[in-house]
Amino acid sequence: MKRIGILTSGGDAPGMNACIRAVVRTALANDLAVVGIRRGYTGLIAGDAMPLDRSAIRNTIHLGGTILETSRNPEFYTREGRLKAAAAVDRMGLDGIVLIGGEGTFHGASLLAADADTAALVGVPASIDNDVYGTDYCIGFDTAANCAVEAIDRIRDTARSHERLFFIEVMGRTAGFLALESGIAGGAEELIIPEEEVTVARISDRIERGFIIGKKSAIVVVAEGKTPGISFEIAREVSERLNFDSRVVVLGHLQRGGPPTLRDRVLGSLLGFAAVEALMEERSGCMVGEVGGNLTHTPLEETWQKKKPLDRDLLRIFPYLSE
């Protein structure tokens, strides 16, 4: 292993820069050359790379977003696109690539490895959705969840003052991690997550029960699921059923930006180091992660084929704490 590439792909996540920095510093300390591939798989297909030295990553640990930029590239989901990428990897002379991203990134990487005998591929999980199997937490989740909690706290002030019902929509396309943890930390009255079937009747009943026992305002945290903006419809139906005014706040991409929290900086640093270590151990086709406080290596296929479950205990306590 002499020369490695690094890219960020899919939705950006705070802490990606801490990870890039850790990869570069660990690689340089081990006499590996590092190149940064710009704009994720778009740059991999085009062979768009820049050398990464110490000066390129200096003073970046506190920055959100990704200095390498990112993309979601449909061309990579075609065999033709992946063969172009494999040819570019050869041209760039890469022995290994660190791929920082989520499920979609690792799905793409598995397909690339199946199509071509290319560089060793090691993934690092970064997604504010936290929905990658093989790690307890993904880089970016903690920052996004803290952003959501701060928003819930602010809205609670106005909800209490006006005796109102609020629906706060957080991100999470296929998973309710952000909704569950920010809902518990923000003291939400009800949760709507993709993992559980909910009906307007159930949501309304639970909110009404709260009003009966003396609550005067309520907050429902909604995971956006596959239909961002879904909260508007739910809010209208619940309001009609309860004959109670409501408001909707969609947090959207606010949750993706901003300086990473301590947890995301530390996790990004740890997993960046671990990714280079994995390449030096001649591992390939795996994702580094942290499970139960231990560094792990999970086959790339499992990271997107297996569904990461929500924390059962958190799900169990929620109904008790929300009344």
> Is 129 a residue of the active site?
yes
Min separation Cβ 170 and ligand F6P, Å: 8
Q: CB-wise, 131 or 301, nearer to ligand F6P?
A: 131
How many chain residues are in contact with ligand F6P, going by CB under 6 A?
Answer: 9
- Yes or no: say if 8 and 126 are a contact pair by the CB < 8 Å rule: yes
129 part of the interface to ligand F6P, by CB under 6 A: yes
125 part of the interface to ligand F6P, by CB under 6 A: no
Residue 6's Cβ-side half-sphere holds a number of Cα atoms within 13 Å equal to 32
Question: Which range in 106-114, 125-133, 153-161, 195-203 contacts ligand F6P by CB under 6 A?
Answer: 125-133
Q: Six-digit token pair at 232? A: 């508007």
Distances (CA, A) of 96 to 1, 11, 66, 77, 245: 7, 22, 20, 21, 56
Q: CB-wise, 118 or 130, nearer to ligand F6P?
A: 130
- Yes or no: say if 129 and 177 are a contact pair by the CB < 8 Å rule: yes
Distance, C-alpha 49 to centroid of its chain: 24
128 part of the interface to ligand F6P, by CB under 6 A: yes
Min separation Cβ 172 and ligand F6P, Å: 5
Question: Which range in 57-65, 166-174, 233-241, 269-277 contacts ligand F6P by CB under 6 A?
Answer: 166-174
Please identify which residue in 8, 26, 105, 127 interacts with ligand F6P, judged by CB under 6 A.
Answer: 127
Q: Report helix, strand or coil for 290.
A: strand
- Angle at which helices 262-280 and 141-162 cross, to 10°: 160
179 part of the interface to ligand F6P, by CB under 6 A: no
| Chain position carrying tokens 């209490």 | 160
Binding site for ligand F6P (CB under 6 A): 11, 127-129, 171-173, 224, 256
Active site residues: 129
